[in-house]
Amino acid sequence: MNEKNSQRGSVTVIVLGAMVAILGLGAIVIDGGMLYYEQAKLQTAVDSVVLAGARVLHEGPLAVSTAAENVAIANGLSLLDLQLSINTATGKVTASAVKQVELGLAKILNHSQAEVGALAEAQVGGISGLKGMAPLGVIWQEFLFGQLYDIKVGAGDGGGGNYGALALGGTGSANYRDNLRYGYPGWLRVGDIIMTEPGNMSNPTKLAIEGRIDACQHGCTFDRYVASCSKVLFVPVINSLPNGRGEVTIIGFAGFFVDDYTGQGNQNYIRGRFIQSFASGEAGASSSYGLTMIKLTR
């Protein structure tokens, strides 16, 4: 009888041990999966926080804090759990956050909560290369943000038959028109030597700019536009225009919001407002002409 009781006790211990092991394994699978999901969601929120802050870094720390906090709240992140660091000198916005997660099956094993954390850093920097450029070479002249400028000039302002047009990936008015309407599909980089496209080409300009203006469906304005707005032109910055078809060197990139085109024939102009904008391209230490890029560095 004592032997049977001993055997039963041993079986009970084994069963209890097995149950604990099964519960532990279940907790790892179920609660571990939940923790992974919550950590990924937190990381996405923190990434969004630093990207939002970096986009307004040029406006100062207060603007960064406001933008970051608004995005944090929109992503369900408590401001009490958020740590934000702003460095305008290096162009970096860093954020970290922690969150307490209620566990499920692990509560049976006396573990009711676990902590997940996330860290992100966004860097604002220069751009050394871009795709999708408009075929317009703009001579730098200390532009002011929000001011209206002629980014393709007319006969009275052009020199030697050049009015700001560039021959990107080929020559001719049809190539120019398509590049102006849709953006040049190839890469352009700081230091590249490219050819000008002489002639005013008023009709190709009119067709391309009308197409861009008509394609905007968001009611965009120069101070409030979606990132992919067709009215935004990214253009190469150059030092000067030669006479006739000739070479120019790209020294940087700038962004303009197209307000309108005007005039016919040799008096055809494209007018746009100089904007502070961001683009996805190749990072570099080139000078900033209002167009920069943001990337997550961690």
Pairwise pLDDT comparison (10 vs 98), residue with the higher score: 98
Give the total number of structural domains in the chain. 2
Mean pLDDT of 169-198: 95
Query: What's the rounded mean pLDDT across residues 36-47?
Result: 87
Q: Are residues 219 and 248 in the same domain?
A: yes
User: Domain check: are 177 and 227 in the same one?
Assistant: yes
- Considering the domain boundaries, does residue 291 fall inside one? no
Q: What is the pLDDT of residue 100?
A: 80
Q: Cα(244)–Cα(171) distance, rounded to whole angstroms?
A: 13
Taking 60 as the threshold, does the pLDDT of residue 250 lie above it? Answer: yes
Do 57 and 176 sit in the same domain of this protein?
Answer: no
Q: In terms of domains, do 152 and 267 share one?
A: yes
Q: What burial class does residue 243 get, using C-beta atoms within 10 Å of its C-beta: 0-12 exposed, 13-18 middle, 19+ buried? A: exposed
Q: How far apart are CA 25 and CA 95, in angstroms?
A: 34
Q: Which helix (H) or strand (E) holds 207?
A: helix 202-215
Q: Indicate if 144 and 195 belong to the same structural domain.
A: yes
N-terminal to C-terminal alpha carbon distance within the chain: 67
Q: Report the pLDDT value the prediction gives residue 7, as an integer from 0 to 100.
A: 47
Task: Indicate the range of 22-36, 104-118, 149-163, 249-263 predicted with least confidence.
Answer: 22-36
